[in-house]
Copies of this chain bind each other. A is one copy, B any other.
Amino acid sequence: MAPSDEAMTDTQRSVLEYVQKHLQESHRSPTVREVMRHFKWNSPQSARKHLLALEEKGYLERDEHIARGMRLAEPTVTGISIPILGKVAAGLPLLAEENREGTLVVDPSMARGGRNLFALTVRGDSMVNAHILPGDRVIVQQTTHAAPGEIVVALIEGEATVKTFRKTSSKITLEPANPKYDPIVITQDQDFRIIGKVVGVFSPR
C-alpha cells in the first residue's frame, strides 16, 4: 500500500522525518527507545504508538521482534538497475538469472511508467547508421509487438539481434542500418520472436 493514503498527525510526521534522517545518515534504523530519547519522551510506548500508526498508514515497514527493524515504505531511488542480457538460453524466461551478464545503472528518466527494461551489449556494426555501435549498450523495453520502422530486439533461432522492424502485408523483414549487410527476410518456418524495442543507447567511448 502506497503512502499518502492516510493523513498523518503532526507528531507522526516528525517521527517519520526522524526515522528517515536516521536511516539516511547511519544506514540503520533507530530503535524504539532512540526515537523516545530523541523526542525527550519518558516511555517507550510514546514512541511505539507513533511507529505503529505510521506502519498501519503505510509509511513505514517493520519486522516484528527484530532490533532496528524499520524500513521506509518507499526507498529513495537514485538510479535504476537493469539487467544486462547475455546469451539467451532456450526455454528459460528471458530475464532468468541464467541469462544475465551483469547490471547497468541508468537514469531514472529512462524508466518512466515502470517500463520493463533490460540492456544488451551490441555485437557487430550492422546498425552503425542508426548510431548504434559495437560495444554500445542498448536499453530495451520488453514487448512482443512493434510498429514498422522501430528498432527492435528480435530472437531468431535463439540468437538475439538488433534491427529495424519492417512489415508488409506479405512478409516481415529485419533491416540493418549498414549498406554492408542485407535485410533479413523472416520465413514462416523460422523461430522468430520480438522481445523488445530500443528506447535508449549507452555508448562508452
Chain B residues with Cβ below 8 Å from A204 are 109-110, 199-200
What is the total number of copies of this protein in its complex? 2
Nearest to A203 among chain B residues (CB) is: B201
Q: For window 21-59 of chain A, which residues contact chain B by CB distance below 8 Å?
A: 27-29, 31
B109, A108: Cβ atoms closer than 8 Å? no
Q: For window 55-102 of chain A, which residues contact chain B by CB distance below 8 Å?
A: 66-69, 71, 75, 78-81
Neighbour of A68 across the interface among B67, B106, B133, B205, CB < 8 A: B67
Q: Nearest-CB distance from A149 to chain B (Å)?
A: 12
Secondary structure dominating the interface of A? mixed
A186 interface contact, C-beta 8 A: no
A205, B67: Cβ atoms closer than 8 Å? no
A131 interface contact, C-beta 8 A: yes
Chain B residues with Cβ below 8 Å from A200 are 202-205
A107, B109: Cβ atoms closer than 8 Å? no
A16 interface contact, C-beta 8 A: no
A79, B67: Cβ atoms closer than 8 Å? no
Chain B residues with Cβ below 8 Å from A110 are 204
Q: What are 9 A-B contacts defined by CB distance under 8 Å?
A: A27-B27, A27-B75, A67-B67, A78-B81, A79-B79, A107-B202, A131-B203, A201-B203, A203-B203
